A and B are shown apart, each in its own frame.
Chain A
Amino acid sequence: GDSVTQMEGPVTLSEEAFLTINCTYTATGYPSLFWYVQYPGEGLQLLLKATKADDKGSNKGFEATYRKETTSFHLEKGSVQVSDSAVYFCGRNAGNMLTFGGGTRLMVKP
């Protein structure tokens, strides 16, 4: 079935470090791909999305490119801040179903 796999956390970085959170998806159909962020004690917020191959989603300094050849949608940021500490979820949507990866906790230390 449809699934999303993302790297397990926690990921601990120092402020201004480069961030990569890997995400791969099953290639059934032509899904849209998403990254959501969950700050402590809150619900999920859409961070960025891409709807077709080679699209790049970007927001708040985060980027992810829809790679059909590697079925990946890795999240990157060039310089993380303490305020980026949160749980990040990769998701794929096909039809009426949004399936998430297990989430990756990011902790940024000053």
Chain B
Amino acid sequence: SQTIHQWPATLVQPVGSPLSLECTVEGTSNPNLYWYRQAAGRGLQLLFYSVGIGQISSEVPQNLSASRPQDRQFILSSKKLLLSDSGFYLCAWSIEGYGYTFGSGTRLTVV
């Protein structure tokens, strides 16, 4: 069966520090991968999606970047965090856009 792992579950980082959130998928090949952010009291915003290794599409220009070094690995990064980067980050995968499975999320607090 397919599973998705996302870590860490919670993270507190100072302003200006770097960020690396990792997401891995098991049990499937060549999935579409996604990073979403949910800011406090707000809806879900699509940040990045990837249809293959090294292929990244950015939906919202901002302080974050994404990479896909392996087929089932999707990484969200920042060189210098801002206070406004605080939020709940969700990774998701899908096959042919039919169904989406989400990870358990990472709650990031920038202080």
What is the CB-to-nearest-CB distance from B51 to chain A, in angstroms, rounded to a whole number?
6
Q: Which residues of B contact A102 (CB under 8 A)?
A: 42-43
Q: Which residues of A contact B101 (CB under 8 A)?
A: 46
Q: Which residues of A contact B105 (CB under 8 A)?
A: 42-43
Q: Verify if A58 is at the interface (C-beta below 8 Å from B).
A: no
CB-contacts of A64-110 with B (<8 A): 89, 91, 93-103
> Interface size bucket, A side?
20 to 34
CB-based contact B42/A96 at 8 Å: no
Number of interface residues of B (CB under 8 A): 23
What is the CB-to-nearest-CB distance from A22 to chain B, in angstroms, rounded to a whole number?
15
Q: Verify if A17 is at the interface (C-beta below 8 Å from B).
A: no
CB-based contact A89/B44 at 8 Å: yes
Q: Which residues of B contact A59 (CB under 8 A)?
A: none
Taken together as a complex, chains A and B put the C-alpha atoms of A94 and B94 apart, in Å, by 12
Taken together as a complex, chains A and B put the C-alpha atoms of A36 and B43 apart, in Å, by 12
Contact digits for B83-111, partner A, Cβ 8 Å, 1 yes 0 no: 00000001010100111111111000000
Q: Verify if A32 is at the interface (C-beta below 8 Å from B).
A: yes
CB-based contact A98/B43 at 8 Å: no
Taken together as a complex, chains A and B put the C-alpha atoms of A44 and B37 apart, in Å, by 12
CB-based contact A98/B94 at 8 Å: yes
CB-contacts of B49-69 with A (<8 A): 49, 51
Taken together as a complex, chains A and B put the C-alpha atoms of A42 and B55 apart, in Å, by 29
Q: Verify if A34 is at the interface (C-beta below 8 Å from B).
A: yes
Taken together as a complex, chains A and B put the C-alpha atoms of A102 and B41 apart, in Å, by 9
Which residue on A lies nearest to B103, using beta carbons?
A43
Taken together as a complex, chains A and B put the C-alpha atoms of A99 and B43 apart, in Å, by 11
Q: Verify if B24 is at the interface (C-beta below 8 Å from A).
A: no
Taken together as a complex, chains A and B put the C-alpha atoms of A95 and B97 apart, in Å, by 6
Q: A93-B97, A95-B97 are in contact. Are A103 and B90 (CB under 8 A)?
A: no
CB-based contact A96/B97 at 8 Å: yes
- Point out residues on A near B: beta carbons under 8 Å: 32, 34, 36, 42-46, 49, 51, 89, 91, 93-103
- Point out residues on B near A: beta carbons under 8 Å: 6, 32, 34, 36, 38, 42-44, 46, 49, 51, 90, 92, 94, 97-105
